[in-house]
């Protein structure tokens, strides 16, 4: 790009450790307390960013003991007791994940007074056959020649299903909202044209890898790249994500080559980092049920929101004022059938998959949670969803794919726009507002929960602002004077045909044609006019209700 990008990895604690990568056996070690910690509740600026503290203050959330980092004395004691390397930490669950190449090293910790629980989260096999969890296929590359539904292009239907286009017409595009995307990697996002605005405008706030602890996530898995493009992608007139003006922390927690409980612990560390950085929303297009080590497998009864560490941590994150959006899972057609974790967590917004017409995808995992909560909570487009391709062979092309991994970021961007418009709301107020303005709120089920949310209706209920259709009009025309091409944007209050005429100054028609346009904003282009003679022309547009727009065009000489 010719621009040097500096990624700032935020650190909110005064101690640090070297993370070794060669050990293969992982253990979760949970401590009993945080006694004699060097950190205190009265000095949160030592471990929380000003934005994280402000989010708590805004929502009336106190600083609590689980905000304190893990006691560094306990960590050092474990590391010095044997051949262990620190992998990740969790202040919320008061524990650490360590790595070793000899499981017998853990015997040295038997009877340690400040250790409450030790769990082997070892992986038994490395799977090379998966790209990422919930990824159905690479999708189909589409040829895009779009003018109507400007600026959405191919994404219009998946956005219009939720009436998000109306909120975006108000100017709510996610400005000022901070989103953490926790995923398996973000392959090639620094090369995708439709994501370059994030770099150019400094809206990639940080990157961090909780799997390998290296300094990049752009060479890892493709899954997060597609997820991010659904939220933030922007190609003028061709593609628009659900919150293209938001800012992002890109966090890798998932090792796509394996499936182990240690990945949950990676996620917890990533979520705590996101909290400390002050994010508003966390997107999780990941989920866990069955593992490489079958002894680690969960049962449906474990999907109660209170059993798995990742579900417990998700609810803690919500208690800190963060809105969590999570994919339901893609097991609807499999023997498992049910939602995964953390989709079962009480306070997260769990998203099922439908297509852009609102038809449920059969692969979408079903609820309820094991303790009877409405899960999934809502549904969004995760079937034939448009995203920007991260593959080298068709980099940045608009493609389609399936999975609740895609319906979750659809909702993440939409709640960012809604929350931007309602900054005085708490995270739980936004969650409930979305649910209450969904298609089957009065009769929720185990397939799509409260149904398909209407974000325009949610905003209307909260503010009293009623959307009004635009008047038929010419919104913008450029360039003028022109040489070889003219673009003009039409606002339309309905799907209709418009008659377009080019006349000379004597009123004689030189060219005339009819064009179908849709409700909202449309971009039309006049081509094949490079050879017109220099001079003045009249553009005349007539809508079906006889509204007429006339503009003077000036043709310059050819160069």
pLDDT in tens, 434-481: 999 999 999 999 999 999 999 999 999 999 999 888 899 998 888 888
Q: Is pLDDT of 65 > 60?
A: yes
Q: How many CA atoms lie within 13 A of 253 on its CB side?
A: 32
Q: Quick count: other Cβ atoms within 10 Å of Cβ 49? A: 17
Give the tokens for residue 2.
């010719």
Residue 341 pLDDT grade (very low, low, confident, very high; cuts 50, 70, 90): very high
pLDDT digits (tens, 9 = 90+) for 404-422: 999 999 999 999 999 999 9
CA distance 237 to 299: 46
Q: Is pLDDT of 559 > 50?
A: no
CA distances from residue 508 to 11, 214, 540, 543 in whole angstroms, order as listed: 69, 68, 11, 20
Please say whether the beta carbons of 316 and 287 come within 8 A.
Answer: no
Q: Tokens 């790249």 — which residue?
A: 225
Q: In the chain, what is the straight-line distance between the N-terminal and C-terminal CA atoms, in Å? A: 30
pLDDT score of 126: 44
Q: Is pLDDT of 535 > 80?
A: yes
510 contact partners, CB below 8 Å, separation of at least 6:
502, 503, 504, 537
Q: Where are the alpha helices (H) located in 209-298, listed in sequence order?
A: 223-232, 262-277
CA distance 227 to 284: 9
Q: Per the omega criterion (within 30 degrees of 0), is the bond before 332 cis? A: no
CA distances from residue 155 to 164, 399, 402, 413, 547 in whole angstroms, order as listed: 11, 11, 14, 13, 29
Q: What domains are there in the chain, each with its CATH number? A: 25-120 (no CATH), 155-463 (3.40.50.200), 473-555 (2.60.40.1930)
> CA torsion sign, 544 to 548 to 549 to 550?
positive
pLDDT score of 107: 86
Provide the percentage of residues in the chain whose pLDDT is more than 90. 70
Mean of the per-residue pLDDT values for the chain? 88
Please say whether the beta carbons of 26 and 393 come within 8 A.
Answer: no
Please say whether the beta carbons of 321 and 426 come within 8 A.
Answer: yes
pTM of the model: 0.86
248 contact partners, CB below 8 Å, separation of at least 6:
178, 179, 180, 181, 198, 203, 204, 205, 228, 231, 232
553 phi/psi in degrees, rounded to 5: -110, 140
pLDDT score of 518: 85
pLDDT digits (tens, 9 = 90+) for 280-325: 999 999 999 999 999 999 999 999 999 999 999 999 999 999 999 9
CA distances from residue 379 to 3, 72, 314, 405, 439 in whole angstroms, order as listed: 39, 43, 20, 12, 10
DSSP per-residue string spanning 327-373: E--S-TTSSS-B--BSTT-TTSEEEEEE-TTSPBPTTS-B---TT--
Provide the percentage of residues in the chain whose pLDDT is more than 70. 90
As separate numbers, helices (DSSP H) first and strands (DSSP E) second, the chain gives: 11, 23
Q: Which residues of 179-208 are buried (b: 16+ CB within 10 A; e: fewer)?
A: bbbbbbbbbbbbebebbbebeeeebbbbbb
288 contact partners, CB below 8 Å, separation of at least 6:
259, 261, 263, 264, 298, 308, 310, 340, 341
318 contact partners, CB below 8 Å, separation of at least 6:
324, 345, 347, 348, 427, 428
Average pLDDT in the 271-275 region? 98
Average pLDDT in the 379-402 region? 94
CA distance 446 to 457: 23
Residue 6 pLDDT grade (very low, low, confident, very high; cuts 50, 70, 90): very low
- Of 97, 93, 122, the C-alpha closest to 311 is 93
Helix (H, G, I), strand (E, B) or coil at 246: coil
Q: Tokens 């893990």 — which residue?
A: 70
Q: Is pLDDT of 52 > 50?
A: yes
> CA torsion sign, 434 to 437 to 442 to 445?
negative
Residue 22 pLDDT grade (very low, low, confident, very high; cuts 50, 70, 90): low
Q: Quick count: other Cβ atoms within 10 Å of Cβ 542? A: 17
CA distance 200 to 232: 13
Give the tokens for residue 62.
């106190």
Q: Is pLDDT of 241 > 90?
A: yes
pLDDT digits (tens, 9 = 90+) for 203-222: 999 999 999 998 889 999 99
Give the tokens for residue 136.
């159905």
Residue 82 pLDDT grade (very low, low, confident, very high; cuts 50, 70, 90): confident
Residue 127 pLDDT grade (very low, low, confident, very high; cuts 50, 70, 90): very low
CA distance 352 to 329: 8
Residue 148 pLDDT grade (very low, low, confident, very high; cuts 50, 70, 90): low
Please say whether the beta carbons of 188 and 271 come within 8 A.
Answer: no
Residue 8 pLDDT grade (very low, low, confident, very high; cuts 50, 70, 90): very low
Return the DSSP state at 109: G
Average pLDDT in the 125-131 region? 40
pLDDT score of 227: 98
Taking each helix axis from N to C end, the angle separating 455-463 and 427-436, rounded to the nearest 10 degrees, works out to 120
pLDDT digits (tens, 9 = 90+) for 249-265: 999 999 988 899 999 99
Q: Is pLDDT of 198 > 80?
A: yes
Average pLDDT in the 358-365 region? 97
CA distance 412 to 408: 6
Q: List beta partners, residue 283.
A: 181, 325
Q: Quick count: other Cβ atoms within 10 Å of Cβ 487? A: 17
Residue 9 pLDDT grade (very low, low, confident, very high; cuts 50, 70, 90): very low
């Amino acid at each position: 790009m010719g621009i040097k990008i500096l990624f700032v990895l935020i650190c909110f604690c005064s101690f640090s450790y070297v993370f070794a990568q060669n050990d293969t056996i992982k253990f979760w070690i949970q401590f009993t307390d945080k006694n004699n910690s060097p950190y205190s509740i009265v000095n949160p600026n030592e471990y929380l960013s000003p934005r994280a503290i402000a989010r708590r203050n805004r929502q009336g959330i106190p600083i609590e003991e689980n905000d304190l980092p893990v006691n560094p004395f306990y960590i050092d004691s474990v590391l010095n007791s044997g051949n262990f390397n620190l992998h990740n930490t969790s202040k919320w669950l008061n524990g650490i994940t360590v790595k070793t190449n000899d499981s017998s090293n853990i015997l040295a910790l038997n009877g340690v007074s400040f250790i409450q629980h030790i769990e082997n989260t070892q992986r038994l096999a490395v799977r090379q056959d998966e790209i990422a969890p919930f990824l159905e296929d690479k999708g189909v590359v589409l040829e895009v020649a779009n003018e109507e539904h400007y600026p959405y292009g191919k994404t219009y239907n998946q956005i219009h299903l939720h009436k998000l286009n109306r909120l975006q017409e108000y100017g709510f595009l996610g400005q000022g909202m901070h989103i953490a995307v926790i995923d398996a990697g973000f392959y090639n996002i620094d090369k995708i044209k439709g994501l370059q605005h994030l770099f150019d405008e400094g809206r990639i706030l940080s990157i961090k890898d909780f799997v390998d602890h290296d300094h990049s996530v752009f060479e890892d898995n493709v899954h997060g790249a597609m997820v991010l493009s659904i939220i933030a992608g922007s190609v003028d007139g061709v593609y628009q994500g659900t919150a293209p003006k938001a800012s992002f922390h890109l966090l890798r927690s998932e090792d796509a080559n394996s499936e182990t409980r240690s990945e949950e612990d990676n996620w917890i560390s990533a979520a705590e980092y996101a909290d400390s950085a002050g994010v508003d929303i966390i997107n999780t297009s990941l989920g866990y049920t069955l593992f490489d080590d079958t002894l680690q497998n969960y049962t449906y009864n474990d999907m109660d929101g209170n059993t798995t560490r990742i579900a417990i941590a998700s609810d803690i994150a919500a208690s800190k004022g963060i809105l969590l959006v999570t994919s339901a899972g893609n097991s609807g057609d499999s023997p498992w059938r049910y939602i995964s974790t953390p989709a079962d967590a009480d306070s997260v917004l769990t998203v099922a998959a439908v297509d852009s017409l609102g038809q449920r995808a059969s692969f979408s995992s079903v609820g309820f949670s094991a303790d009877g909560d409405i899960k999934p909570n809502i549904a969004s487009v995760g079937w034939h969803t448009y995203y920007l391709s991260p593959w080298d062979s068709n980099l940045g092309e608009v493609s389609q794919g399936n999975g609740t991994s895609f319906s979750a970021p659809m909702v993440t961007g939409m709640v960012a726009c809604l929350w931007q418009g309602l900054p005085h709301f708490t995270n739980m107020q936004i969650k409930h507002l979305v649910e209450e303005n969904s298609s089957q709120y009065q009769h929720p089920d185990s397939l799509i929960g409260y149904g398909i949310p209407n974000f325009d209706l949610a905003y209307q209920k909260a503010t009293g602002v009623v959307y009004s259709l635009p008047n038929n009009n010419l919104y913008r025309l450029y360039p003028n004077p022109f040489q070889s091409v003219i673009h003009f944007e039409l606002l339309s209050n309905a799907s209709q045909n418009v008659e377009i005429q080019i006349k000379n100054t004597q009123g004689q028609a030189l060219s005339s044609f009819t064009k179908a346009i849709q409700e909202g904003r449309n971009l039309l282009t006049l081509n094949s006019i490079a050879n017109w003679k220099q001079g003045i022309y009249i553009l005349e547009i007539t809508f079906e209700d006889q509204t007429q727009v006339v503009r003077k065009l000036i043709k310059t000489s050819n160069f």
